[in-house]
């Protein structure tokens, strides 16, 4: 599959329409997984993917210099994520919410925000990272997969555990982290 995908990309760069059609489902899947954390609607996701596809077709794909499938998926991920970031920035510019207003106010404050909150956030972030680092490897993976927006079904597929077990393990794990953060004064 790896060599096959790289070959498809090579043919796409050669301008073969069939190669582009063959790449399309893979591109869509990579794109969808890459922007899971953006929580886009289906219509917005379609727009982002269509823009990214157009950019690749217009010459963006020729920028890929890697030689492995992992590098290719990372390249496609970067293209789609950049489009999604542009899209979200553009949307937020014209749709200010209370949360955005609060962010603006914080950013406008001297030093880029309310100093005590920032310091506390940084301290809590460092504490969280430390706590995650002390988890068992399988729990660390669970936490990171959940944090990246994977659904429990997808986590179950990738870890080979039953979906129900995954759900309860994640719930326990997050509760444990919350307790630790609460004890530290972060919650």
Partner 1 sequence: MDRLDRLTERLIGDLDRHAESPASACVELAVLGERAAGGLTSAAQARVDAHLDECLACLNAFIEVRDLLQGVAAPAPASAGLRRTLDELIGEASSPRVWRRVVDALRRPLVLRVPAWTAAAAAVAGLLLTWATLQTVGRPGGTVESPSVDRLAPANARTERTIAGVVGSVRDATSNGVDAHVVSVTDASGATYVLFAWGWPTVHAGESVEVVGIFTRADQSSGGPVYQGVATALRRTR
Contacts 24+ apart (CB under 8 A), 87-91: 87/40, 87/44, 87/47, 87/48, 87/51, 88/38
13 counts as binding partner 1 under rule CB under 8 A: no
114 counts as binding partner 1 under rule CB under 8 A: no
Spatial distance between the Cα atoms of 14 and 171, rounded to a whole number of angstroms? 49
Stretch that binds partner 1, among 25-33, 106-114, 163-171 (CB under 8 A): 25-33
117 counts as binding partner 1 under rule CB under 8 A: no
Q: Scanning residues 144 to 163, which ones bind partner 1 (CB under 8 A)?
A: 144-145, 147-148, 150, 154, 157-158
17 counts as binding partner 1 under rule CB under 8 A: yes
125 counts as binding partner 1 under rule CB under 8 A: yes
* Helix residue spans in 35-68 (DSSP H): 42-57
**Rg (alpha carbons) of the chain, rounded to whole number:** 21
Task: Kindly state the number of chain residues that form the binding site for partner 1, as judged by CB under 8 A.
Answer: 62
SS3 category, 17: helix
24 counts as binding partner 1 under rule CB under 8 A: yes
Q: Scanning residues 35 to 64, which ones bind partner 1 (CB under 8 A)?
A: 37, 46, 49-51, 53-55, 57-58
Binding site for partner 1 (CB under 8 A): 1-2, 5, 17, 20-21, 24-30, 32-34, 37, 46, 49-51, 53-55, 57-58, 66-71, 73-74, 77, 86, 93, 121, 124-125, 128-129, 132-133, 137, 140-141, 143-145, 147-148, 150, 154, 157-158, 174, 177-178, 181, 186-187
């Amino acid at each position: 599959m790896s060599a096959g995908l790289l070959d498809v990309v090579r043919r796409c760069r050669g301008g073969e329409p069939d190669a582009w059609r063959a790449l399309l489902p893979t591109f869509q899947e990579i794109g969808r997984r890459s922007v899971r954390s953006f929580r886009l609607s289906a219509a917005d996701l379609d727009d982002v993917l269509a823009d990214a596809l157009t950019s690749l077709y217009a010459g963006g794909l020729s920028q890929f210099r890697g030689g492995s499938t992992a590098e290719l998926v990372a390249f496609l991920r970067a293209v789609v994520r950049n489009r999604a970031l542009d899209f979200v920035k553009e949307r937020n510019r014209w749709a200010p919410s209370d949360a955005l207003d609060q962010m603006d106010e914080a950013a406008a404050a001297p030093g880029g925000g309310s100093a005590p909150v920032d310091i506390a956030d940084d301290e809590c972030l460092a504490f969280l990272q430390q706590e995650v680092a002390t988890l068992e490897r399988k729990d660390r993976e669970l936490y990171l997969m959940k944090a990246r927006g994977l659904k429990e079904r997808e986590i179950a597929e990738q870890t080979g555990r039953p979906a129900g077990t995954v759900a309860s393990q994640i719930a326990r794990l997050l509760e444990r982290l919350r307790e630790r953060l609460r004890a530290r004064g972060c919650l």
